[in-house]
Amino acid sequence: MKTSIYAACALAATVLLAGAPAKAATDEVGGSYVDLLALNLKYDGRPQASSIPREIVDFDQKYAPGTILVSSKERRLYYVLPEGKAIRYGVGVGRPGFEWGGAQAISQKREWPAWTPPSEMLKRRPDLPRHMAGGPENPLGARAMYLGSSLYRIHGSNEPDTIGQAVSSGCIRMTNDDVVDLYERAKVGAKVIVMR
């Protein structure tokens, strides 16, 4: 009898949690490991692992809570919290020739967004589809936050191994579980500062 991926992952979660102290059943930024595992399974049955953990860090910059800062050099995104803290996420950033910096605001948010490659991208990659419905195979992943009227977004990825690298055409990539977490926190109108 074959074991389903869900049963295998549930078994793995049980094994992981069995040896952990009760207090460790939640991560630093909220949500139980079982909840996070279930969230990962919603995408396509495969956990969205990343070698860059999401964590709360000291952050003494003078930005208002709710501001998002992206450090392209660090390949990290900071969501500013009150009292000198921020949530730090690993991200993928623009590859050489596609780096950018500046300030934008989140103009809209979408769950499981559809993707229509811009004409500039289609000139470089005529093999790309002209439109792709939202879903696990879509390169925008589980969530997208659009940055002003620019072509750029903060979005999920169906390629979690690209997080921490400079591989995109300028968009900020996150694992699907991290982008869902940020999506729930960030508001339309939030300031986004990208530092090269």
Known catalytic residues? 155, 171
The angle subtended at Cα 95 by Cα 91 and Cα 99, nearest 5°, is 85
**Of 53, 54, 93, nearest to 196 (Cα)?**
93
**Of 177, 143, 138, nearest to 158 (Cα)?**
138
Question: Which SS3 state, helix, strand or coil, does residue 48 take?
Answer: coil
Cβ neighbours for 126, distance < 8 A, ≥ 6 positions apart: none
Contact 35, 41 (CB under 8 A): no
